[in-house]
Amino acid sequence: MNHVPLEQGLLLAGMLFVLGLAGLLARRNMIFLLMSLEIMLNAAGLAFVVAGAKWSAPDGQVMFLFVLTMASAEVAVGLALILQLYHHFHTLNADSVSTMRG
Amino acid sequence: MSAMFYMAAFVAVLSTGLAITRAHAVHALLYLIVSLLAVAMIFLLLGAPLAAALEVIIYAGAIMVLFVFVIMMLDNGRKDTSRNHQHLPIRMWTGPVLLSAMLFGEFLYLFAMSTSQGSPLAQVGPKDVGIALLGTYLIGVELASMLLLSGLVGAYYLGRRIEQEEQE
């Protein structure tokens, strides 16, 4: 009954993941880094749902729910950290905060 | 059905690729929202309506609104106001609108098909997901609640220190 083959769903998830990874490596703006992380988490969730739909099992969607929960908690803390970063350094460039103090 | 999958996958990949290459964060957010909507459409085609609804509500709704808020707060602090003159020119919003119109047409087609001959998709409905979530994965739900609480406390703490420093 299911018309979407497993391989192509997983291929799409892989492509989205690689796009997110490329954005994470190429961009230096912190907002874009967080958005790329969201793309990668979303691709991982897509892979779970595709695999769950293959065997008509609800487990894939349950795992997607956990990924969603983790992504929302991560983005809340990450955006608060970005606000802190901008407040202290007045830039969003990730390279400008590459050194640690203390 | 697989043509609809390929169309939604094309929209997802194209809008994600455009999202990570935009110069302005708000334009990237527009494309990212279209990408998330395309993935929600794919969830619907896979027979996962609960995941599709949550993708739209939480990802494209709540999380992207958080991004928009933060970008608004950061843009307030910037000195240059020159970009306000050319605020959202036509070529910036036609791309996302076209892509989301494709998705919307696909959704309408799926909706029309499912009302005429029952649902064409093999579905894993919300009931099955709820039974598995609160049965087998109950410990995961507890852990997720602790994670959300710690995220809430962490975001509150990090956001609060900004206000205190601004008041000083």
Digit-coded pLDDT (tens) for B101-127: 999 998 898 888 876 655 656 678 888
Is residue B8 in some structural domain? yes
Is residue B96 in some structural domain? yes
Considering only residues B146 and A98, tell me which one the structure prediction assigns the higher pLDDT: B146
Is residue B9 in some structural domain? yes
Q: Given this model, what pLDDT does residue B14 score?
A: 94
As for how many domains chain B has, the answer is 1
Q: Compute how many other C-beta atoms are within 10 angstroms of the C-beta atom of residue B28.
A: 24
Which residues 8-27 on chain B approach chain A with CB closer than 8 angstroms? 9, 12-13, 16-17, 19-20, 25
The range of the structural domain enclosing residue B83 comes to 2-123
Is residue B7 in some structural domain? yes
Q: Given this model, what pLDDT does residue B76 score?
A: 58
> pLDDT exceeding 70 applies to what percent of chain B?
82
Is residue B114 in some structural domain? yes
Q: How far apart are CA A1 and CA B128, in angstroms?
A: 18
Does residue B162 surpass a pLDDT of 60?
A: no
Q: Which range, A39-43, B75-79, B85-89, B122-126, is most confident?
A: A39-43
Is residue B148 in some structural domain? no
| Contact assignment for B32 to A16 by CB distance below 8 Å | no
Assign residue B97 the CATH number of its domain. Answer: 1.20.120.1200
pTM of the model: 0.88
Tens of pLDDT, residue by residue over A63-85, are 999 999 999 999 999 999 888 88
- B48: Cβ–Cβ under 8 A, 6 or more apart, which residues? A49, A52, A53, A60, A61, A64, B123, B124
Burial of B84 (0-12, 13-18, 19+ CB in 10 A): exposed
Is residue B65 in some structural domain? yes
| Contact assignment for B54 to A58 by CB distance below 8 Å | no
Q: Compute how many other C-beta atoms are within 10 angstroms of the C-beta atom of residue B139.
A: 8
Is residue B141 in some structural domain? no
Q: How far is CA B82 from CA A86, B26, B27, B66, B70, in A?
A: 20, 16, 17, 25, 20
Q: Which residues in chain B have Cβ-Cβ distances shorter than 8 Å to A46?
A: 39, 42-43
Distance from CA of A1 to the nearest CA of B (A): 6
Lowest mean pLDDT among A2-11, B6-15, B24-33, B55-64: A2-11
| Contact assignment for B46 to A87 by CB distance below 8 Å | no
Q: Given this model, what pLDDT does residue A4 score?
A: 73
| Contact assignment for A79 to B155 by CB distance below 8 Å | yes
